[in-house]
Amino acid sequence: MSATTTTPIDLSSGFPSPSLFPLQQLNHATNTVLSTPSIWHEGMIYGPDEGHSPLRRNIARWLSRFYHLDETTSTPGASKIEAERICITGGASQNLACILQVFTDPVYTRNVFIIEPAYFLAFRAFEDAGFVGRLTGVPEDEEGVDVEFLEESLKKDELSSSPDIKPFKPERPYRKLYRHIIYCVPTFSNPSGRIMSLSRREALVHLARKYDALIIADDVYDFVHFPTDASSMDSPSPQFKHILPRLVDIDKTLDGGPIDSFGNCMSNGSFSKIVGPGCRVGWAEGTPAFAYGLSQAGSTHSGGAPSHMMSTFINEMLEPSGDDTCAVTRHIVTKLIPTYARRYSLLATAVQEYLTPLGVISPIENKYHVVGGFFLWLRLPPSLTSTEVVAAAREDGVVIGNGAVSALPEGNLRCGTYGDMIRLCFAWVDEEQLVEGVKVLAGTIRRLGKEA
Ligand SMILES: Cc1ncc(COP(=O)(O)O)c(C=O)c1O
């Protein structure tokens, strides 16, 4: 580490820096709750399985607005989101585990398909649910998931498996066990930042219906996006508006709607990236039957939805005020979008200036000309591996993400190793450190390149 730097510059951690937490708004929300007995009485005791009712209603209204389902919409037939479609969760990770507990069976559910490169912290939830060695990677290109590859895998599985496998778990009226799981991050994927195109989304929903699969979509990065050229941003009021309909919106409307009461898609949402990860509050959206079934997970049914008191605080931040926006929306529009746009622009420019000349390849611009999520996904020059660059950069004072962790764990059907990829995050460190971090990394790559 350089003599002047004592704390390494962290371009690895994937969450907002403390300067981006909406503390004043949270303070106001907690004061309101704690000085209103009718709210805190409810918040401090066990709550409903589906979660704090006012929060379910406010999330439904807020999502309707963001995905414009209450106005003219690109999804024909889409309508307002009803509160019955929402179940409050302890965040996307906790909820992934609950979904697998309720809707999969270690015997009957044949495969877990994961779009690669993947959000690596999800792997253990699949292993915990009994799918060790049964994960299959599905590659993505500029338009997202390779649906042909996925269909081939599903067809092969049909041919090799017996049609009358009995589930290990008993039948329950509140749930359905799916034959396959498809896990993806359709918008601003972690780590690749890619956006799955509308045609791929539709094709994916068709496939899920045909092969009895549940698509679990982590829609955690949808809310913050900005043009690739930040100077063309409609500042000072960027729009609070989606880019594409979610998979769950498509399942709601495609060919007349879901093929059964549970549907084939769910949206896994979270306040981690837009309020703060320590809140551990999120939401799941699916058909009303799916949302109810999810709320019947054993750990939820005993005591009610997680993070109940915190749910009351978040709910205050979602209460519409005079201009029909709420504290969370205003925070996204006035703070998060402008800050991330600036940080992204600084990071992308620094990468171009210091890393591209060394042979590092940065992502191609997507056809939507928007960026979001928290990451830049970069390919190293052919002579270097991500593992050696990550270790050497750490010694030089900068922490970066190793692409190799985004491959499925060994023993599963992976489609790549990503041992030549690194992930840089622009959410955690403040602006000056972003450029400094890239300069340090350039020095590391230059040094290793000479040694190679
Ligand atoms: C794709 C994806 N899903 C889920 C999470 C975690 O969400 P939560 O904090 O709500 O558990 C992250 C955080 O990095 C993520 O990138």
User: Can you give the residue ranges of every domain in the chain?
Assistant: 9-21+328-451, 24-326
In the three-class reduction of DSSP (H, G, I as helix; E, B as strand; rest coil), residue 226 is classed as strand
On whether the 24-326 domain is CATH 3.40.640.10, my answer is yes
Closest CA to 272 of 222, 320, 230: 222
Closest CA to 182 of 148, 207, 155, 152: 207
Cα of 92 vs centre of ligand 1, distance in Å, is 6
DSSP assigned state of 139 = E
* pLDDT, position 145: 97
Residue 72 above 60 pLDDT?
A: no
Residue 2 above 60 pLDDT?
A: no
Cα of 119 vs centre of ligand 1, distance in Å, is 8
Tens of pLDDT, residues 297-322: 999 999 999 999 999 999 999 999 87
Greatest C-alpha distance within the chain: 67
**Measured CA distances, 435 to 73, 89, 388 (Å):** 40, 37, 21
**Measured CA distances, 2 to 390, 399, 424, 429 (Å):** 16, 13, 20, 18
Residue with tokens 């498509």: 250
Cα of 448 vs centre of ligand 1, distance in Å, is 33
Residues 12, 399: contact at Cβ < 8 Å? yes
* pLDDT, position 198: 97
Question: Band of the pLDDT at 230, cuts 50, 70, 90?
Answer: low
Is 185's C-beta closer than 6 angstroms to any atom of ligand 1? Answer: yes
**What mean pLDDT is predicted for residues 241-267?**
97
Q: Which of 32-36, 75-79, 187-191, 285-289 has the lowest mean pLDDT?
A: 75-79
* pLDDT, position 409: 96
Residues 102, 90: contact at Cβ < 8 Å? no
**What mean pLDDT is predicted for residues 53-79?**
79
Is 227's C-beta closer than 6 angstroms to any atom of ligand 1? Answer: no
Residue 423 above 50 pLDDT?
A: yes
Closest CA to 310 of 3, 18, 89: 89
CATH topology for 9-21+328-451?
Aspartate Aminotransferase, domain 1 (3.90.1150)
- To test the pocket of ligand 1, the residue of 220, 271, 275, 311 to mutate (highest count of ligand atoms within 8 Å of its CB) is 220
- To test the pocket of ligand 1, the residue of 87, 93, 268 to mutate (highest count of ligand atoms within 8 Å of its CB) is 93
**What mean pLDDT is predicted for residues 325-352?**
95
Residue with tokens 């399985």: 49
Is 117's C-beta closer than 6 angstroms to any atom of ligand 1? Answer: no
Residues 274, 219: contact at Cβ < 8 Å? no
Residues 427, 374: contact at Cβ < 8 Å? yes
Dihedrals phi, psi of 331, to nearest 5 degrees: -65, -45
CA distance 398 to 118: 23
Residues 75, 253: contact at Cβ < 8 Å? yes
Q: What atom of ligand 1 comes closest to residue 89's alpha carbon?
A: 10
**What mean pLDDT is predicted for residues 427-436?**
93
Is 119's C-beta closer than 6 angstroms to any atom of ligand 1? Answer: yes
For the record, the structure tokens of 228 come out as 């690739």
Q: What atom of ligand 1 comes closest to residue 94's alpha carbon?
A: 11
CA distance 380 to 361: 7
Residue 353 above 90 pLDDT?
A: yes
- Lateral strand order in the sheet of 421-425: 375-379, 421-425, 401-402
Tens of pLDDT, residues 20-43: 999 999 999 999 999 999 999 999
Cα of 452 vs centre of ligand 1, distance in Å, is 36
For the record, the structure tokens of 183 come out as 């896990």
Cα of 218 vs centre of ligand 1, distance in Å, is 7
Closest CA to 66 of 292, 379, 332, 296: 332
Residues facing 41 on adjacent strands: none
CA distance 193 to 199: 18
* pLDDT, position 323: 77
Closest CA to 56 of 388, 354, 312: 312
- To test the pocket of ligand 1, the residue of 88, 126, 196, 218 to mutate (highest count of ligand atoms within 8 Å of its CB) is 218
Residues 219, 186: contact at Cβ < 8 Å? yes
Is 264's C-beta closer than 6 angstroms to any atom of ligand 1? Answer: no
CA distance 439 to 450: 17
Strands 282-285 and 86-89: antiparallel
Cα of 109 vs centre of ligand 1, distance in Å, is 24
* pLDDT, position 217: 98
- Residue at 298: amino acid letter: G
Is 91's C-beta closer than 6 angstroms to any atom of ligand 1? Answer: yes
Cα of 420 vs centre of ligand 1, distance in Å, is 24
* pLDDT, position 3: 43
Residue 235 above 90 pLDDT?
A: no
Closest CA to 214 of 322, 290, 318, 153: 290
